[in-house]
């Protein structure tokens, strides 16, 4: 279950970044600083394949 929660958070961060959110906004939503958010999620990319997202 924790892995699924982590995947959900990463997907939400990626979606927020694509929508134009800055690291301060993302960090605030997660209860962490902008620097911590950037450090933790700054290099994420879509990690699931299209088939995996459908199921």
Using 50, 70 and 90 to split pLDDT, how confident is the model at 34? Answer: very high
Name the residue with higher pLDDT: 35 or 51.
35
Provide the whole-model pTM. 0.74
CA 10 to each of CA 44, 55: distance values in angstroms, whole numbers, following the listed order: 7, 18
* Residues 42 and 13: beta-carbon distance below 8 Å: no
For residue 43, pLDDT beyond 80:
yes
Using 50, 70 and 90 to split pLDDT, how confident is the model at 44? Answer: confident
For residue 5, pLDDT beyond 80:
yes
Say which DSSP state 48 is in.
Answer: S
The reported pLDDT for the residue numbered 37 is: 97
**Concatenated DSSP letters of 10-52:** HHHHHHHHHTT--HHHHHHHHTS-HHHHHHHHTT----S-HHH
């Amino acid at each position: 279950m924790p892995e699924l929660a982590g995947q959900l958070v990463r997907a939400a961060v990626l979606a927020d970044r694509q929508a134009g959110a800055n690291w301060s906004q993302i960090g605030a939503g997660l209860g962490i600083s902008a620097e911590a958010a950037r450090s933790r999620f700054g290099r994420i990319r879509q990690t699931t394949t299209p088939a995996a997202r459908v199921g």
